[in-house]
Amino acid sequence: MIIYLKNKYTLIVGEFEFKCSIGKKGLIRKKVEGDKKTPLGLFELGDVYYRKDKIKLPKVKIRSVKIKPQMGWCDDINFPKKYNKPIKINQTIHHEKLYRKDKKYDLLIPIKYNFKKVVLGKGSCIFLHLTSNYKPTAGCIALKKKDFIIMLKLLNKKSKIKIS
């Protein structure tokens, strides 16, 4: 299954059209770390990460990972081997915290942008995640929880996202 970003407000998943939000500064082909833009392209999707204490995960066809308090995602160009990968939080490595007080990362799926041959500074932490208000993101795509749950039930290991 390929899910499509139809425009900056609509994500198409199978027969469903979900309202969404994207990067504050729109879409871009050549993303740079911190530019607040959502990368264009066709990307594989990663595992679903979730907060077991907040979410009852439905039956899914993709691997699931429980988010623990010490989990983060490296966005630090000074650590090439860890850049754009999940990490155990370390005070010396800049990261995106996955275990948060707000509900944004109660459910998230990494979009495999800059994943296989990682380029430092090309962008990291690009996720499908939750929103409560559709405010623009730092480059991710955000959905309401009820829509994210429907999407999760439809995804499989071969699912991809087309952002155009």
CATH for 15 = 2.40.440.10
Number of domains in the chain: 1
7 SS3 class: strand
Please report the pLDDT score of residue 114 as a whole number. Answer: 97
Q: Kindly report the pTM of this predicted structure.
A: 0.95
Please report the pLDDT score of residue 153 as a whole number. Answer: 96
* Residue span of the structural domain in which 133 resides: 2-163
Do 9 and 69 meet the contact criterion of CB atoms below 8 Å apart?
A: no
Per-residue pLDDT of the chain (164 residues; tens, 9 = 90+): 899 999 999 999 999 999 999 999 999 999 999 999 999 999 999 999 999 999 999 999 999 999 999 999 999 999 999 999 999 998 899 999 999 999 999 999 999 999 999 999 999 999 999 999 999 999 999 999 999 999 999 999 999 999 99
Instruction: Encode 89-118: b = buried (16+ Cβ within 10 Å), e = exposed.
Output: beeebebbebbeeeebbbbbbbbebbeeee
Please report the pLDDT score of residue 90 as a whole number. Answer: 85
Please report the pLDDT score of residue 92 as a whole number. Answer: 92
Please report the pLDDT score of residue 71 as a whole number. Answer: 97
pLDDT tens for each residue of 104-127: 999 999 999 999 999 999 999 999
Phi, psi of 146 (to 5 degrees): -60, -40
**Long-range contacts formed by 34-39: CB under 8 A, 24+ apart:** 34/138, 35/123, 35/139, 36/136, 36/137, 36/138, 36/139, 37/139, 38/5, 38/126, 38/137, 38/139, 38/140, 38/141, 38/163, 39/111, 39/113, 39/114, 39/123, 39/126, 39/139, 39/163
